[in-house]
Amino acid sequence: MANFGLSGITVYDDDKTNFDIMKSIIEVDEQEEAFYLLDVEDVVRKHRGWLEKMPRVFPHFALKCNPDPTVVRTIAALNGRYDCASKQEIQLVMECGVSPDRIIFANPIKGISHVRYAKKVGVDRMTVDTTNEVLKLKKLYPEAKLVIRIGIDGFECGMTFSRKFGCEPTMETVKLMSYIKEVGMCLHGFSFHLGSPCWDADAYGRAIETCNQLIKVAESMGFPDCKLIDIGGGISGIDGTSIEQVAASVNAALENVDPSIEIISEPGRYYVETAFTLAACVQGKKVVEEDGVVKQFYYVNDGTYGAFINELLGLRQQLPSSLYELPSDKKYPSVIWGHTCDPYDCIIKGSEIPNFEIGDWMVWDDMGAYSLSNATVFNGYPSAVVFPVIRRSAFNDLIREVQAIQKSRQNGNDHDNHNGYSR
| Span 395-415, pLDDT tens digits | 999 999 999 988 887 777 665
pLDDT of amino acid 309 = 87
Query: Which has more pLDDT, 59 or 420?
Result: 59
The span from the CA of 136 to the CA of 302, in Å, is: 42
Instruction: Kindly tell me if the per-residue pLDDT of 17 is higher than 70.
Output: yes
pLDDT of amino acid 368 = 96
The span from the CA of 369 to the CA of 71, in Å, is: 12
Instruction: Kindly tell me if the per-residue pLDDT of 252 is higher than 50.
Output: yes
Q: DSSP code of 189? A: E
Give the chain's mean pLDDT: 92
Amino acid identity, position 216: K
What is the pLDDT confidence band of residue 421, given thresholds at 50, 70 and 90?
very low
What is the average per-residue pLDDT within 116-134?
98
40-53 and 392-410 helices, crossing angle to 10°: 60
Phi first, then psi, for residue 415 (nearest 5°) are -85, 80
pLDDT of amino acid 117 = 99
pTM over 0.75: yes
List of E strands, 212-275: 228-230, 262-265
User: How many residues in total does the chain contain?
Assistant: 423
The secondary element (H helix, E strand) that includes residue 393 is helix 392-410
Catalytic one among 84, 198, 211, 341? Answer: 341
Q: Which residues make Cβ contacts (< 8 Å) with residue 120, sequence separation at least 6?
A: none
pLDDT of amino acid 415 = 52
pLDDT of amino acid 155 = 63
What is the average per-residue pLDDT within 102-122?
98
pLDDT of amino acid 131 = 98
Give the domains, in start order, of the chain with CATH numbers.
Answer: 40-273+395-410 (3.20.20.10), 276-367 (2.40.37.10)
What is the average per-residue pLDDT within 71-99?
96
Instruction: Kindly tell me if the per-residue pLDDT of 247 is higher than 50.
Output: yes
What is the average per-residue pLDDT within 270-280?
97
pLDDT of amino acid 154 = 64
The span from the CA of 304 to the CA of 313, in Å, is: 9
What is the average per-residue pLDDT within 306-312?
89
Q: Is 341 a catalytic residue?
A: yes
The span from the CA of 276 to the CA of 274, in Å, is: 6
Q: Which residues make Cβ contacts (< 8 Å) with residue 150, sequence separation at least 6?
A: 129, 166, 167, 168, 169, 173, 190, 191, 192, 207, 210, 211, 214
Instruction: Kindly tell me if the per-residue pLDDT of 1 is higher than 60.
Output: no
Task: Give one DSSP letter per residue of 79-146, joined into a string.
Answer: T-EEEE-SHHHHHHHHTTT--GGGEEE--SS--HHHHHHHHHHT--EEEE-SHHHHHHHHHH-TT-EE
pLDDT of amino acid 212 = 97
Predicted confidence (pLDDT) per residue in 152-196, tens digit:
866 676 666 777 888 999 999 999 999 999 999 999 999 999 877
What is the average per-residue pLDDT within 59-80?
96
What is the pLDDT confidence band of residue 419, given thresholds at 50, 70 and 90?
very low
